A = this chain, B = another copy of it.
Amino acid sequence: MTSGEGMDHKELKELIGEVRKTFRLLAGMSNAMLEERGLTASLLAILEYISDNGSSTVPQMASAKSMKRQSIQAIVDKLLAMGLVETVLNPTHKRSMLIALTEKGTASIRMIFAEEMQVLGRVTTGWTGGNIEQASQTLREFRLQLTGLGTGGTDLEARP
């Protein structure tokens, strides 16, 4: 079936297929790793956001991630219960508390990054060739071409 497919776009469709497969492979591995630590992709996404961008308010993160603040709030509540983040007084806004990493949270995310490094290390040592930079560049260009033609992704998905 699926006859009448444009021959012109064959390469592009294959690239899309590879992106899909790679994403799922990475997501599967990451989820397996996170599960061992009692974390989920969405929890890590927020930890990572704070780690990268510093303490932030819930509405800030919701906006940055194109998600509803209620959804972020639910994630933050879990992280608070786990002791991975804490609320901090916000100097610029009296009602909207900042969410900050605790020491435990910092340690947690550091361990996860370290384990990722290990896996990447195993890949790079066993991999002789591959134009990694070029592939990144191609994907970046591809995204640029697509942007403006439609809406981007919105939710927190499995995090490779």
Task: Please report A residues at the B interface, Cβ cutoff 8 Å.
Answer: 1-9, 11-16, 18-29, 32-33, 51-52, 54, 106, 109-110, 113, 117, 119-124, 126-143, 145-147, 149-154, 157-160
> How many copies of this kind of chain does the complex include?
2
Is the CB–CB distance between B139 and A22 below 8 Å? yes
Is the CB–CB distance between B27 and A133 below 8 Å? no
Is the CB–CB distance between A135 and B139 below 8 Å? yes
Q: Do most interface residues of chain A lie in helix, strand or loop, or is the interface mixed?
A: helix
Is the CB–CB distance between A1 and B129 below 8 Å? yes
Is the CB–CB distance between B9 and A121 below 8 Å? yes
A2-B52, A5-B117, A151-B29 known; A131 vs B136 contact (CB < 8 Å): no
